Amino acid sequence: MKTFKGRVVVPGTATLKALVSHEGFNTLASYKNCKEGKNVCTDQNNKDLYGKSTVGVALCLPQTIGSTTGGMVLFNSAVIKCNPGALLFSNTIDSLAAAGAILADVWTENSMPTVDNLGKEFLDYVKDGMTVTIKENGEVEVSE
């Protein structure tokens, strides 16, 4: 087990399976077929995530990319319960993704604990399927 410390953007605790992208996450391209409780990543440019379910996982990524609709897409995914269970950024979160995660926390019952600034070492260490435990203070424990 290894522990990483980041900055809390949306508070919360969770223990989830990791889904890892080493590329930027394009929210609009990834949620084209989002339906209540279901989403399979539709972004063909993201080799790490394409065709994989992003629902209820700890989505581990460097940053989000793409359209200015990114925050609204994250918020709407929470509204219809097809959102990641948590967002874990190796880099600093961008304002659009932060807005989407914060709005989901404030306006829905489907919050996504969100932590950023976990560092490159975090993204190098975590692998798909590993167990990720998020703590209120921004600590993220990663275990096999």
Measured distance CA(53)–CA(39) in Å, rounded: 6
Q: What is the DSSP string of 64-115?
A: EES-TTHHHHHHHHHHTT-S-SEEEESSPPPHHHHHHHHHHHHHSS----EE
- pLDDT beyond 90 at 66: no
Tell the residue number behind the tokens 């410390």, with chain if given: 5
Q: pTM of this prediction?
A: 0.97
Dihedral (CA of 13, 16, 22, 27) sign: negative
Share of the chain above pLDDT 70, in %: 100
pLDDT of residue 105: 97
Q: What is the pLDDT of residues 18-63, one digit of tens each?
A: 999 999 999 999 998 888 889 999 999 999 999 999 999 999 999 9
Q: What is the pLDDT of residues 89-140, one digit of tens each?
A: 999 999 999 999 999 999 999 999 999 999 999 999 999 999 999 999 999 9
